[in-house]
Amino acid sequence: MKNKFSQTMQDFSRAVITPVKFMAVMGLFLAISVILQLEFMPSFLQTFGGLIKTMMDSMLNNLALIFCIGISASLAKKKKVEAALISLMAFLFFLAANNAWLTLTNQIADSGEMGLFGTGQAIVLGFQVVDMNVFLGMLVGCIVAFIHNRFSEKEFVDFLSIYGGSRFSFMILIPVILVIAIAMSYIWPVVNGWISSLSGFILTTGLLGVFIYSFGNRFLIPTGLHHLLWMPFCFTALGGTATIGGQVYNGAANIFYAEMANAGSITSLDPSLRFATFGFVKIFGSIAVSLALIHCAKAQRKEEVKGMILPSMFVASVAGITEPLDFSFLFASPLLWLVHSLLTAISETILWAVGARTYMLYGLIDTVVSNSVFSPSVTKFYLVIIVGILMSIIWYFVFVFLIKKLNIKTPGREDEIAEDLVLENSSPNQIIADSGERDYDLVIEGLGGKENIENISNCFTRLRVTVKNEDLVNPAQLEKISLQKGVVLKGTNVQVIIGMGVQAFKDSVCEKLGISEA
């Protein structure tokens, strides 16, 4: 049972990495768009940068769908294209059913000045539904993969054959998704209610309230529930009320904007500002985490990891968009995400305790521009720099310690030591050239024959196989494979270390077995 659970978690982690890698590309182009839109850039470049930003936003705002398709296709053992197509339809079914049920039962939230932020609902692909963020994509993707793997091979007699195979798993999914869509109409609002109930406690408990607010605002990001914390505090009377220039303003952000418009008469900033400092982690925390991830990557993968992490770090710290960086380590280790959230909470609590009164809602650009209208004696921005440097150092060493001590598989650390030399000394072309029919036969024989092979996949360098009966596996046969650099047996999970050309090797084995992944 323990091995099966461990294998399931490994499979899920590998599935999640698929869309995360594409987010690294998104982060790169977001960083480019930020640079192109700087004030000193020519107007045509600023326009071009805005177009790139709009394109990347379309991905950023639909991560749930991207995760759904990526996870279902990655977890599918066979017919991956059909699994991906089914997951797309299942996701759309959820949206339609959830929206229809919310409408039917009069649960549709009304839009306020800030739209649906803080209501627990959101517009996803044109449907107003419960706001589950990427959690929805992960939930639907996993359900689709589970049902697809169990029922996609079921066939019927000739005149019913159209309903067999993947269509049968699709038929099963329709009522399942309907039930889940209705259930989430009631389950998610309860979760939302728990978050909202923290508001009163946060308001009345001083520094402890700041700590809880900061922690929740970071920790809840993958679920989308963080909107229920920061939006009401920043844009409604829940975050505070102040009279400025003879007019009443509600919410930490609104009050600060009003103070900006009256900067000449402001000698101290409103206490509601304590709810508008979560840009600190985006600026300082992102830099520290990025450097830690790069430092902990294996030597031969540092350049690869730099290419993935540095653009994400830039767009997180400068523009305040942290998702590409967050998802690069969140799923690799929920523990790191918990620690990241705790360090965020500690930082913001210290900032308020030492007297910093700096508005930091987004990234570095917004922070500098917004606070520049006030005297440093008002914002105490120098305290932010001091605390930022100290906490960045702590952040960095805590992450490095945990990653190495617990051997967490962050980017660039996914494979075991035995594969390091393989990565350095092999190339895909060499693998393809050296592979022969005998190697493929040895794989099949060593795994106990075609009938004993349940699933074949691969990571960067390993052929990963799940067998039905581990007693039929013959390690001696597998070790005769000319390309293998090691064999690892973990119950019904068999791993053969091949090298960087393992993808082509796996495809050839699948062709030999007559297995079609599509």
Concatenated DSSP letters of 141-170: HHHHHHHHHHHTT----GGGGGGSTHHHHH
- Predicted confidence (pLDDT) at residue 516 exceeds the cutoff of 70: no
Average of per-residue pLDDT across 225-252:
81
Tell me, what's the pLDDT at 493? 84
pLDDT band at 460 (very low <50, low <70, confident <90, very high): low
- Predicted confidence (pLDDT) at residue 501 exceeds the cutoff of 80: no
- Predicted confidence (pLDDT) at residue 430 exceeds the cutoff of 50: no
CB-based contacts of 178: which residues, under 8 Å, 6+ apart?
Answer: 93, 97
Instruction: Considering the candidates 142, 234, 296, 459, report the single residue annotated as catalytic.
Output: 459
Average of per-residue pLDDT across 497-513:
79
Instruction: Identify the DSSP state of 343.
Output: H
Hey, what's the torsion of the CAs at 25, 27, 33, 37, to 10 degrees? Answer: -170
Tell me, what's the pLDDT at 1? 58
CA 155 to chain centre: 37
Tell me, what's the pLDDT at 66? 92
**pLDDT tens digits along 138-163:** 899 999 999 999 998 888 877 777 88
CA 80 to chain centre: 22
Cα separation, 142 vs 139, whole angstroms: 5
The average confidence (pLDDT) of the chain is 85
As a CATH number, domain 417-513 is 3.30.1360.60
Winning range, highest mean pLDDT, from 181-185, 196-200, 510-514: 181-185
- Predicted confidence (pLDDT) at residue 127 exceeds the cutoff of 80: yes
Concatenated DSSP letters of 369-411: HHHTTS-HHHH-HHHHHHHHHHHHHHHHHHHHHHHHHTT---T
**Between these two residues, 135 and 225, which has the higher pLDDT value?**
135
Do 141 and 75 meet the contact criterion of CB atoms below 8 Å apart?
yes
Average of per-residue pLDDT across 50-71:
89
- Predicted confidence (pLDDT) at residue 434 exceeds the cutoff of 50: no
Angle at the Cα of 470 from the Cα atoms of 469 and 472, rounded to 5 degrees: 75
Cα separation, 462 vs 464, whole angstroms: 6
pLDDT band at 380 (very low <50, low <70, confident <90, very high): very high
3-state secondary structure 226-258: CHHHHHHHHHCHHHCEEEECCEEEECHHHHHHH
CB-based contacts of 175: which residues, under 8 Å, 6+ apart?
Answer: none
Q: Among 9-13, 347-351, 396-400, which stretch is predicted with the lowest mean pLDDT?
A: 9-13
- Predicted confidence (pLDDT) at residue 85 exceeds the cutoff of 60: yes
Average of per-residue pLDDT across 485-489:
80
pLDDT band at 415 (very low <50, low <70, confident <90, very high): low
Tell me, what's the pLDDT at 159? 74
Tell me, what's the pLDDT at 5? 64
- Lateral strand order in the sheet of 486-490: 453-458, 462-467, 493-497, 486-490
pLDDT band at 135 (very low <50, low <70, confident <90, very high): confident
- Predicted confidence (pLDDT) at residue 420 exceeds the cutoff of 50: no
Tell me, what's the pLDDT at 113? 66
Instruction: Give the burial string for 451-483 (b: 16+ CB within 10 Å, else e).
Output: ebbebbbbbbbbbbbbbeeeeebeeebbeebeb
**Between these two residues, 400 and 226, which has the higher pLDDT value?**
400
Residue in this structure with the two tokens 């030597």, named with its chain if needed? 299
CA distances from 406 to 11, 300, 305, 398 (A): 19, 21, 20, 12
Cα separation, 517 vs 510, whole angstroms: 8
- The region, left, alpha or beta by phi > 0 then psi within -120 to 50, assigned to residue 157 is beta
Instruction: Identify the DSSP state of 342.
Output: H
Tell me, what's the pLDDT at 394? 97
Is residue 68 annotated as part of the catalytic site, yes or no? no
Instruction: Give the burial string for 42-80 (b: 16+ CB within 10 Å, else e).
Output: eeeebebbeebbeebeebbeebbbbbbbbbbbbbbbbbb
Cα separation, 422 vs 461, whole angstroms: 8
**pLDDT tens digits along 293-333:** 999 999 888 988 898 899 889 989 988 888 889 988 888 88
H-helix or E-strand containing 103?
helix 80-104
Q: Among 21-25, 51-55, 214-218, which stretch is predicted with the lowest mean pLDDT?
A: 21-25
Domain with CATH 3.30.1360.60 in the chain: 417-513
Average of per-residue pLDDT across 50-54:
91
Tell me, what's the pLDDT at 6? 61
Winning range, highest mean pLDDT, from 7-16, 142-151, 161-170, 500-509: 142-151
Average of per-residue pLDDT across 212-221:
92
pLDDT band at 431 (very low <50, low <70, confident <90, very high): very low
pLDDT above 70 covers what percent of the chain?
92
- Predicted confidence (pLDDT) at residue 433 exceeds the cutoff of 70: no
